[in-house]
Structure 1
């Protein structure tokens, strides 16, 4: 098959690598990044928002189907655009992608389906938000930008002064182009991620993963797009996973269908196990990043075959996953990330080619015989091992061999999964 993957990050790198496990597949990535080329992924210089150019490429090159990695083109209607031209594309349409594009839309679906989530209020004007925070809110509390914010639009604020600063930044300064905020109760517990392939009413859950959003060890500092992930999550039992499927995934998918939303694509549930049971933090309309980089390497079935069956609405008898050991991934990011990434050399191309572990590339570009930083999150190094300690030793020894001048990484990824 000839397959196009839309996107440019480590998630898309992982999707491409999984598709290339089938030797009969040819995989293109638009726009991709220079690091992907090191493993034989064919990158195309078309940006993810250039729908006309993407469809022209698909038609000209007889692409069998397209997979969309990032959320922004999904929310902006890329699936509708392709389908109007009778082109096969994997992902939710613009209406269904509101699952991620609008937190208020998703909160309503959850309420209608009786899915447990945090209590919340929504605000479009600064004065009302300030009044609520001053009079009614308890701290810590959570403030979310209602829209896309590349994983950085969620703030856990500890006191009123911090809360007022954040809502002012969002509703007055319109950071992330925010026009509405959701203020919700702070939930305490163990967070984990559950993704599923969805085909209208049918869904196929993946193994649980856990990502690490905070920039510093011990889950300190501001949120990032993700500093690493582990799969499976050893401190979340199989019984809890089944509860998440029964109490969250199943009712949410069925509620969407009842409302006339025929969801096709990946559904991501960000969950937390509290003293009162499982609650939903968020839903996303695509593969999680960096969870994908540790989940897909555990897939034994042919990913391209899964996509084909779902696109043709055929039931999948079974999806096989690795059951032994665990997969761990750690992101190397630019120093100064997420506020002010410092750009510079990441080392010789040969250093990356010779690394014995899997590397999923994100914000990098090639200059002569070096890779140069071209974003905040640079590359994720990933391995599978029989235990967390072995996986950590493997990754951190190999990360230490890379050029350290312009990178930073957490040294405790996987710490919860003991």
Structure 2
């Protein structure tokens, strides 16, 4: 069969890497792809937001399965457009993807269907949001309502920071139209963890727990990023807690979305805070996480194409996900200046000198002649699988030590919380 992957980041490289291992995937295309994906797939220079061009590509190449990676084309309705043309596509439809596209909708779904989450209020007026923050007095979280590439959440430790966040989001419009409304919510304390699950709209099959590292610097300091590294499985989510999240978060969310005429099919991602009161939902995402996908797919033993086809057929109950023993760690290498402004075009060396069981998943890369160069903020995800978290950390950083490009920076504490457990 012919498979098209939509997107061009580290998540999409991991999808291409895993799908290429399926004996059923005879040919893989990617739009737009990157330098790493180009080693596994035919990259087509079409932006992931260009829905008409993607439909033309699917029609022209007679694609059997389209897999949509990023949130922007999902929220824009790419799945609906392909389904309307009769093409099989993996990912939630537009109305379902709004659980990520609107923080307000996500909170309303959680509130209505008794899914544990922080108390919150919604504002479309900066003045009213500031008045509310002054009443709260303590730490709080300010969220832009719309999509902001994983950076639209500001954790404010004090009132002054919270008020400045409202100014930035609603008045300075640092996230554009995404900041027309904000959610202000109480600040939950605890350790963050991600649970991703496959769902066909009725059945829910969870993946391993994973932990992302959002802040740019060690010890969770500095501004938020799209994610500086991840590992799986995350011991903070014990088997008992994993079952609790399945029963109290994932299944109610899928049922709630169905009841709201937003049937959900694809990957549902819950960002959780492990509080003293138990797991509480910080946010929902409507797709595979990035960088969580990199370690999760390296740990997945099952054929991903089989899983996706069973899901599309409404037969997910037939799937028994198989996972490799051990653990997997991904360390993101970023361009100098990221998550602020950064340059491009720096030559990357060392990619052909990685240890065994280490994969360099490309995110922001491109070709300049025969050389691989930087082309984004997050450049590579050096990902290692080993018998346990400590061994996987050591192996991943061995891989990191062999890769070089000007301005490269990365966190040196990915997976540390798991060892402390």
User: TM tier, shorter chain?
Assistant: over 0.9
**Residues 257-316 of structure 1, C-alpha deviations (whole Å, 9 max, x = no match):** 122222111100001110111100000110011111111111111111111122122244
Q: Does 1:222 align with 2:188?
A: no
SS in 1 for 2:219: coil
Q: How does 1:114-193 map to 2 (within 5 A)?
A: 114-134=114-134, 136-177=135-176, 178-193=179-194
Q: Give per-residue Cα distances to partners, 1:88-146, cap 9 Å, x unaligned.
A: 11111111111001111111111111111000011111111111122x12322100000
| Deviation at residue 406 of structure 1 after TM alignment | 2.0
Q: Counterparts of 1:331 and 1:115 in 2: how far apart (Å)? A: 32
Deviation at 1:237, TM superposition (A): 1.1
Counterpart Cα distance in 2 of 1:312 and 1:24: 17
- Give the drift of 1:336: 1.0
Q: How far 1:323 moved relative to its partner?
A: 4.8
1:6 paired with 2:21, answer no
Partner of 1:277: 278
Q: Is the 8 A contact 2:301 2:324 kept in 1?
A: no
Q: Give the Å deviation of 1:176.
A: 1.4
Q: Whole-Å Cα distance in 2 between the matches of residues 16 and 139 of structure 1?
A: 45
Offset from partner CA, 1:168-189 (integer Å, 9 cap, x none): 1111112212100101000001
Q: Any idea what the Cα deviations from partners look like across 1:194-217, whole Å, max 9, x if unmatched?
A: 111111111111110000001001
Q: What is the distance in 1 between the residues matched to 2:398 and 2:392?
A: 10
SS of the residue 2:129 aligns to? helix
Q: What's the counterpart of residue 255 of structure 2?
A: 254
Asked if the contact 2:198/2:267 (under 8 Å) is kept, the reply is: yes
State how far apart, in whole Å, the 2-side matches of 1:132 and 1:263 are.
34
Structure-2 residue corresponding to 1:236: 237
Partner of 1:354: 353
RMSD (CA atoms) = 1.3
Bigger shift: residues 317-326 or 74-83 = 317-326
In 1, distance between residues paired with 2:277 and 2:66?
Answer: 41
Report if the CA contact (8 A) 2:231-2:327 is conserved. yes
Aligned residues of 2:49 and 2:73 also touching (Cα < 8 A): yes
> How many Å separate the matches in 2 of 1:110 and 1:17?
34
Per the alignment, residue 378 of structure 2 pairs with: 377
Distance in structure 1 (CA, Å) of the matches to 2:18 and 2:295: 11
Moved runs in structure 1, 4+ residues, more than 3 A? none
- 1:50-61 alignment, distance < 5 Å: 50-61=50-61
Query: Please, what TM-score do these two structures have when normalized by structure 2?
Result: 0.95
Give the structure 2 partner of residue 106 of structure 1. 106
Q: State the partner residue of 1:290.
A: 291
- How many residues were matched structurally? 414
Give distance in 2, aligned partners of 1:65 and 1:175.
36
Alpha-carbon distance between aligned partners in 1 of 2:186 and 2:125, rounded to the nearest angstrom: 19
**SS across alignment from 1:345:** coil
Q: Residue deviations 1:51-109, cap 9 Å, x none?
A: 11111111111110101100001111111111221111111111111100111111111
Instruction: Report what 1:198 is aligned to.
Output: 199
Partner Cα separation in structure 2 for residue 404 and residue 361 of structure 1: 14
**TM-score normalized by the length of structure 1:** 0.96
Are residue 340 (structure 1) and residue 341 (structure 2) matched?
A: yes
| Partner SS state of residue 230, structure 1 | strand
How far does the alpha carbon of each residue in 1:228-276 deviate from its partner, in whole angstroms, 9 at most, with x for none? Answer: 0010012321111111111111111111112222211110000111011
Counterpart for residue 330 of structure 1? 331
The CA deviation at 1:393 is 1.6
2 CA distance for matches of 1:230 and 1:123?
A: 35
What is the CA–CA distance in structure 1 between the aligned matches of 2:338 and 2:322, rounded to whole Å? 34
Tell me the distance in 2 between the aligned counterparts of 1:329 and 1:124. 38
